[in-house]
Structure 1
Amino acid sequence: MAKIRTGRVSEQIKKEISILIQTELKDPRIGFVTVTGVDLTNDLSQAKIYLSVFGDDEQKNNSLKALDKANGFLRSELGKRIKLRHVPELIFKIDESIEYGSRIEKLLTEIDTKDSK
């Protein structure tokens, strides 16, 4: 029963955080950011928010710093939009899985082109 609730709450947090980042935050350091996932603890005390940032490592770090600075604002807005007794602590992390998958696909196509020659 608890896993169903945490799944629902994490999807709602993912939706609301992505809307807040796109519409409410005006920090120029935040580039093109996509929320790829949210891992929520069973007691709903912490939410790890995984982000995919378009750009180089410097752009990723700047976006992460800007989101960490806006953590209080995001948490208070999240509390207004989602009716929870305690709003979870937000922890932002860069999601490397998309880059990793595209790198693997690139390597596989290189192997395929070498084999066909």
Structure 2
Amino acid sequence: MRKNSIKNTRINGEVQKELSTIIRNEIKDPRIHPMTSVMAVEVAPDLKTCRAYISVLGEKEAKEATIKGLNSAEGYIRRQLARNLNLRNTPEIRFILDESIEYGVNMSKLIDDVTKKDSNSHRQDEEQDEN
């Protein structure tokens, strides 16, 4: 199976959906932040390994604690995946912190700030021209 085949893409989507459900509804670890999302999943073509990109809304400590909590619950999550998905092999899961949403929000805020400053300086220039 090739990495970007239709079958692999479908497996990635199913694993992502199932991981989201397991993390949201079944794990009771207090370290795992309630605002945790599974952003993407990459299952290897041989179904042996899986990288799950996790986004956590909160402070740095909450993000680190969530990743630690998920890593400690990896065995349970893997068992639940095996129970819910009919795959030949249940992949070993590596949880990776994904900060792309936070980065995008920060960039958007910076762009808005620059745009606001630019429009304010443009207004001041127009007012000086009128006087």
If the TM-score is normalised by the length of the shorter chain, which range does it land in? over 0.9
Q: Is the 8 A contact 1:6 1:44 kept in 2?
A: no
CA displacement 1:13-61 (0-9 Å, x = unmatched): 0000110111110111111211111112222221110111121010011
Mapped contact 1:52–1:94 kept (Cα < 8 A): yes
The reply to whether residue 58 of structure 1 matches residue 61 of structure 2 is yes
Which residue of 2 is the match for residue 11 of structure 1?
13
For residue 80 of structure 1, what is the amino acid of its counterpart? R
For residues 42 and 104 of structure 1, the distance between their equivalents in structure 2, rounded to whole angstroms, comes to 35
Residue matched to 1:94 = 97
Uncovered stretches (5+) of structure 2, i.e. residues with no partner: 121-131
- Among 11, 20, 28, the residue aligned to 1:26: 28
Matched residue, 1:112: 115
Alignment of 1:40 onto 2:43:
yes
Contact 1:48 1:90 in 2 (8 A): yes
Aligned length: 117
TM-score (normalised: structure 2): 0.85
Runs of 4+ in 1 over 4 A off after TM superposition: none
Q: What's the TM-score, normalizing by structure 1?
A: 0.95
Structure 1 match to 2:124: none
Structure 1 residue 95: deviation in Å?
0.6
Unaligned runs of 5+ in 1: none
> What CA distance in whole angstroms lies between the structure 2 residues aligned with 1:4 and 1:114?
47
Aligned CA RMSD, in angstroms, stands at 1.1
Q: Percent identity?
A: 39
Say which one has the larger Rg.
Answer: 2
Letter in 2 for 1:85: R
